[in-house]
Structure formats: structure tokens, C-alpha cells
């Protein structure tokens, strides 16, 4: 733990993948993870890493990080954000929880990928107790506008 702490302070983010120490000799972050076994972590709110791109997020993330709310912030189709594979990984990971806790997915942008995923997997979402929020409110800032959701705990 001290070594991990020192490496993250001296070289922030370079040796960590999803907060896990990675093997610097490997070029693939997924293959370099040495994830210790342990119980899942329960949180109220989690942002899906890397704007919901498939770079570092797989079903294992959703098996281990169990959130009441997941935020999908991707809005860059050219870079695969949000990734259909990551949205599917949510379904796969949640299906292995063993408990049917309510999960709410909060997309920050209305994208073709999220719309298609929602329509094509709606039955599975219902089966897994996953709700996808759509926002009827819009925030306008300078030259940009985007949907908004209010979450209260």
C-alpha cells in the first residue's frame, strides 16, 4: 500500500488503471491488472470511467463497483464514447450480483448508442431492475446546452 501510494504521488495516474496498480511493462491495461479478490464495493453514485469508453471498463468493474446510480458521460462517437460494450458489461456485471437492487443509469447526453442500447435491451434492463433516466430539463451555458438530472440522497 505504501508503494502504491508513493507511485501515485510521484507519477500520478501513470501506474494506475481504474485505481488498481498496473504492470508498467505491459502495453494493455486490461491484461496488466492484478486485482485482489475481495467483496464488492457499494456506493451511491459512480461515474463510468473514461466517458464510458471500452478502454478500461468491463463486466468486472460492474461486478465489483455496485452503485445505485451510474453516470454515463460519453458524447464522442468518433472515440467510441459511450461504448455499447460497456453498457452491455453493466448488464452482464449486474446479472451476477445475486441481489436485485435498483440501479439507475444517468446518461449526460442523448446519443444514438445509448438510445439503441436502451431499445434493444429494455426487457433485460427491467429483469435486472435497471432504470435509465431521461431528462426533460436542459441546462444552457454559453454556447452549450445539455440535459440535466437532479439526484437527491
The residue ranking higher by pLDDT, 128 or 142, is 128
Listed by start position, the domains of the chain span: 41-147
Residue 60, phi then psi, degrees to nearest 5: -60, -35
Residue 11, pLDDT > 80, answer no
21, with CB counted inside 10 A (0-12, 13-18, 19+), is middle
Q: Decide if 93 contacts 61 (C-beta within 8 A).
A: yes
Average pLDDT taken over every residue of the chain: 76
DSSP assignment, residue 36? P
Instruction: Please classify residue 149 by burial: count the beta carbons closer than 10 Å to its beta carbon, then call 0-12 exposed, 13-18 middle and 19+ buried.
Output: middle
Please check the confidence at residue 15 and state whether its pLDDT lies above 50: no
| Mean pLDDT on 80-85 | 80
pLDDT of residue 149: 64
What's the pLDDT band for 133 if we cut at 50, 70, 90? confident
Amino acid at each position: 500500500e505504501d508503494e502504491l501510494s508513493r507511485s501515485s504521488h510521484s507519477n500520478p495516474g501513470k501506474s494506475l488503471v481504474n485505481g488498481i496498480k498496473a504492470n508498467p511493462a505491459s502495453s494493455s491495461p486490461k491484461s496488466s491488472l492484478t486485482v485482489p479478490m475481495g467483496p464488492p464495493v457499494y456506493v451511491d453514485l459512480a461515474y463510468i470511467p473514461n466517458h464510458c469508453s471500452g478502454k478500461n471498463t468491463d463486466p468486472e468493474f460492474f461486478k465489483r463497483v455496485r452503485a445505485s446510480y451510474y453516470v454515463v458521460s460519453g458524447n464522442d462517437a468518433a472515440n467510441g464514447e459511450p461504448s455499447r460494450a460497456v453498457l452491455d458489461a453493466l448488464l452482464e456485471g449486474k446479472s451476477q450480483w445475486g441481489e436485485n437492487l435498483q440501479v439507475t443509469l444517468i446518461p449526460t447526453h442523448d446519443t444514438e448508442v445509448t438510445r439503441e442500447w436502451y431499445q434493444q435491451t429494455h426487457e433485460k434492463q427491467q429483469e435486472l431492475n435497471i432504470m435509465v433516466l431521461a431528462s426533460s430539463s436542459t441546462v444552457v451555458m454559453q454556447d452549450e446546452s445539455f440535459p440535466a438530472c437532479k439526484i437527491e440522497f
